[in-house]
Amino acid sequence: MTARDWFEKAQKENFAIGAFNVDNLEIFKGIITAAKNKNSPVMVEFSPGEAGYFGLKNLVDMVVNAREEYKIPILLNLDHSKTVQDCRAAIAQPGFDDVHFDGSHLDVEENIKGAKEVVALAHAKGIIVEGELDKLGGSSEVHDEEIDEAVLRQSYSDPKRALRFVSESGIDIFAAVFGNIHGTFPTQPDLDIALLTQIKGALPDTFLSLHGGSGIPAVQVQSAIKAGIVKVNINTELRIAYRDALVEKLGENPKEYKIYSFSEEIAMAVSAVVENKIEVFGSSGKA
């Protein structure tokens, strides 16, 4: 099945596919192990920074090898690519299922132009494209500050603008902004499910994604899935699980220099988070 097939299945059966960012090998192993344990499709994704760390060819080979070894559907995505050039590089490297052109830092016309160019290149290779119109705030970190919800609301997606953006660019997945934000905060804002319902009404034939899924209560994520979300992005919670497990193991083994000796336990800490998310998303047993 292609990425499009999987998202169509998710939409029809009312579940979402988890899209998990990969910082390192332990996080990758944790994601794949969880997907295998839950018999779930999964998407692994790499921001330009993460892709630069691994190297495009290396990360494609890593995913291809994991598909063969684990015998589960693993989709590969380039996440939050800010340039057409970066998207072009991923599209030229066989193995990607999805590329995310994030032109939210551009004016609307330039964003549409860039997304349209990426769509033409990607669709020629059978790759789907995600687009972002409204800049999602925050960063994939643990934040101590409180969110100014009045400011946050200024970035929410407008259904009419979203319709124009999708219609003119031809993207397959629209990154909706309706209370979601990158990172975790002392008080997470509530998702505006009513707005999401309006966005889905304006874009009935477009897949919708939820970025900034870390820290959002399960019940709200499930409400968003019922309203049309088929892809949920998780990054910060994986980084937290990895870092906490690493710090714990180093504390228990201060004279150990073979980090790989407890890397499996670190991966399992990540896996526990991913398994929980898979249950929340409803994708368990769907592979």
Question: What tens digit of pLDDT does each residue of 10-43 get?
Answer: 999 999 999 999 999 999 999 999 999 999 999 9
Cβ pair 81, 127 in contact under 8 A: no
Pairing between β-strand 128-132 and β-strand 42-46 as defined by DSSP bridges: unpaired
pLDDT given at position 159: 97
Single pTM value for the model: 0.94
pLDDT given at position 57: 93
pLDDT given at position 184: 80
Question: What tens digit of pLDDT does each residue of 147-163 get?
Answer: 777 778 888 999 999 99
| Measured distance between the N- and C-terminal CA atoms of the chain, rounded to whole angstroms | 10
CA-based nearest residue to 157, from 165, 148, 146: 165
Q: Provide CATH code, domain 3-281.
A: 3.20.20.70
pLDDT given at position 145: 79
The DSSP output letter for 156 is: P
| Number of alpha helices (DSSP H) and beta strands (DSSP E) in the chain | 12, 10
Residues known to be catalytic: 79
Q: Which residues of the chain have pLDDT under 70?
A: none
Give me the sign of the Cα torsion angle 114, 156, 5, 221.
Answer: positive
Question: 7-18 in b/e burial notation, b at 16+ Cβ within 10 A?
Answer: bebbbeeebbbb
What is the number of alpha carbons within 13 Å of residue 200 lying toward its C-beta? 19
For residues 5 and 216, give the distance between their C-alpha atoms in angstroms, rounded to a whole number: 27
**Domain range summary for the chain, segments of one domain joined by +:** 3-281
CA 212 remoteness from chain centre:
8
